[in-house]
């Protein structure tokens, strides 16, 4: 028998497209710049509709299809970096959430988010593009040391998701 427990909710659904961004020695193609979108968004096996990755060897795909970042971390980051204006999607996440923190999940846990069924696969290990996003050479190091990594999900059942949807842990 399956049971579910409401854990939280989706604050925003965020998508972005690849863009060239200037860096010290030229430019880099990145999709870390994501913005909230309105309405219901399709969740597909490898990605959320309207979102595109720049380097599929390290982003997206079946084990990193959806990246979730807890909105509860934003106030902490605002204290750490008071000169930065934080908005949902700032960390390149597809879902900014409330009520689902890294310490509350385990690899293999399943969650119903909107009509999609997602499974926790791993924490995020950011690349240098997080430095580019924040225009700070120390951001990856700060991010990793903070313990606020966010959560990658695989898509077990496709569906759709919107801001305000509940996040329910599915017990099997």
- Per residue of the chain (172 residues), give pLDDT as tens: 567 788 899 999 999 999 999 998 899 999 999 999 999 999 999 999 999 888 777 777 889 999 999 999 999 999 999 999 999 999 999 999 999 999 999 999 999 999 999 999 999 988 899 999 999 999 999 999 999 999 999 999 999 999 999 999 997 6
List the beta bridge partners of residue 68: 95, 151
pLDDT of 36 reads 98
d(C-alpha 123, C-alpha 121), whole Å: 7
Q: Which strand (E) or helix (H) includes residue 141?
A: helix 139-146
Nearest to 37 by CA among 76, 93, 99: 93
89 within 8 A of 16, measured Cβ to Cβ = yes
Nearest to 5 by CA among 109, 107, 116: 109
Phi and psi (nearest 5°) for 10? -85, 120
Buried b (16+ CB within 10 A) or exposed e, 103-120: eebeeebbbbbbebbbbb
User: What does the block give as tokens for 46?
Assistant: 């490898």
């Amino acid at each position: 028998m399956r049971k579910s427990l409401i854990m939280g909710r989706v604050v925003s659904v965020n998508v972005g497209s690849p863009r060239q961004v200037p860096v010290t020695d030229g430019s880099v193609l990145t999709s870390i710049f994501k913005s909230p979108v309105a309405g219901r968004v399709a969740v597909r096996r490898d990605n959320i509709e309207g979102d595109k990755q720049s380097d599929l060897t390290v982003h997206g795909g079946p084990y990193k299809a959806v990246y979730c970042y807890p909105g509860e971390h934003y106030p902490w980051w605002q204290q750490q970096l008071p000169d930065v204006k934080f908005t949902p999607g700032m960390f390149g996440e597809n879902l900014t959430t409330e009520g689902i923190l890294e310490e509350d999940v385990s690899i293999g846990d399943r969650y119903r988010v909107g009509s999609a069924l997602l499974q926790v696969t791993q924490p995020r290990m950011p690349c240098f593009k997080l430095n580019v996003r924040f225009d700070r050479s120390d951001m990856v190091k700060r991010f990793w040391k903070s313990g606020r990594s966010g959560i990658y999900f695989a898509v077990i059942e496709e569906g759709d998701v919107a801001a305000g949807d509940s996040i329910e842990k599915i017990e099997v």
